Structure 1
């Protein structure tokens, strides 16, 4: 195997502007799509538990459709399929400071809709974990539905939702690589452009793997801190007694008795 270690370290420690742009695009698309997907998922979750079938049925069909089809198919359908059918075409938008290309708009929309379907189920389960007695007590105090959902139910459900929310963002970081099929120059497509010039495929794909491993590891630390700060008190005690992220990754200290 012709592995050039110098090229690997060169692109890993001193990435080119193409890599840096791909890294920035990966992070920005992930954050935007996760934020919009979580917000939309909240409304879909509330629609799913609504007593009105006009809200409940479309919400359940949405979740069924987007959870039951591959994300790659959704991305291609939204960007290419809609344009081929002359239903909608994503045009570049001039935002003043920068131009937002149509393929990035389609990618963010596809990731948002897909994430909303999964977050809707996570939030619905979080709401269901709150005791029914608290809902009845809120009603007996004269609280309206929006009021007791905002003050009583959702804050408690958030403690259950936060851990899987962190896992979803971890997956979102990796799912951005699928946007390369519609020409979004995120990390994977940036690597493909560099390999087409240098022909150092193994070294550069190993570099992009290290980049994603670094991103997900750093987010693991952030997620652990968030869970300990805002998670359920009982789960917080378990988290404090559980092994650190390094122990989880490398199996250090396994088999020791916890006192």
Structure 2
């Protein structure tokens, strides 16, 4: 069972690993947003070769596990003379993986904008770049915020896979402590609690952004729809007869 002395001794290295987890996750998410947007726009390009290359990249990334991609970047590329640090490998792996998924999210959001808005802006002589920046993207972002929010929460959990490339994140720090002290239950329970402490505020942040931007009202959804927590509680209410 837990003891206060164990928690005090284990907490500093675990928190240090948690900080590295947060840095890698946030940085990878921001980069994946940029790369995903570019890929999503390229996916809709009129240039057939660009569409094919982008589609091939997205299908390859989505069709292979993130774990394999990290292995390839860190362990296979050195055989071709490309040696990367664990930190850089983790950033590249998470960015490349999440960018492929975000590309499809951006594409679906952009294509959800009514065609009439494209035609109306084109009739005013607005350039495609200006049209995308001022009219299409702001509306598309409101549509895809829930999906982007899910990815934002998920990347903190998926970042645990970078421990396989010897990066001292939260998961790897827990593995080292467990192998040295043999107190697996205590350490991994603390690791789970720290991951929850990271991901839950991230989920609350996403929910706050949705409320702030009034996503439900802008998309024509009932303004008084129950939140996820309320829907969960309703499942356990007794049925009236």
Q: TM-score, normalised to structure 1's length?
A: 0.85
- How far did residue 16 of structure 1 move? 3.0
- How far did residue 236 of structure 1 move? 8.2
Equivalent residue, structure 2, for 1:201: 184
Matched, 1:24 2:19: yes
2:216 and 2:66 map into 1 onto residues whose CA distance is 31
> Per the alignment, in what secondary structure is the counterpart of residue 89 of structure 2?
helix
Alignment check: 8 A CA contact 2:21 2:170 kept: yes
- Given candidates 2, 7, 11, the residue that maps to 1:5 is 2
- Given candidates 116, 137, 141, the residue that maps to 2:120 is 137
Equivalent residue, structure 1, for 2:226: 242
> Per the alignment, in what secondary structure is the counterpart of residue 252 of structure 1?
helix
- Given candidates 70, 74, 80, the residue that maps to 1:79 is 74
Equivalent residue, structure 1, for 2:45: 50
Q: TM-score, normalised to structure 2's length?
A: 0.91
Equivalent residue, structure 2, for 1:171: 154
1:238 and 1:79 map into 2 onto residues whose CA distance is 48
Moved beyond 2 Å, runs of 4+: 13-17, 230-241, 251-257
Equivalent residue, structure 1, for 2:60: 65
Equivalent residue, structure 2, for 1:97: none
- How far did residue 239 of structure 1 move? 6.3
Equivalent residue, structure 1, for 2:166: 183
- How far did residue 84 of structure 1 move? 1.9
User: Deviations 1:212-250 (Å, cap 9, x if unpaired)?
Assistant: 1222211121111011122252458646531364x45xx
1:168 and 1:144 map into 2 onto residues whose CA distance is 32
User: Deviations 1:125-153 (Å, cap 9, x if unpaired)?
Assistant: 00011001100111111011101000111
Matched, 1:125 2:93: no
1:183 and 1:25 map into 2 onto residues whose CA distance is 13
2:154 and 2:14 map into 1 onto residues whose CA distance is 20
Pairwise CA RMSD: 2.1
Alignment check: 8 A CA contact 2:216 2:222 kept: no
Which ranges in structure 1 are unaligned for 5 or more consecutive residues? 91-101
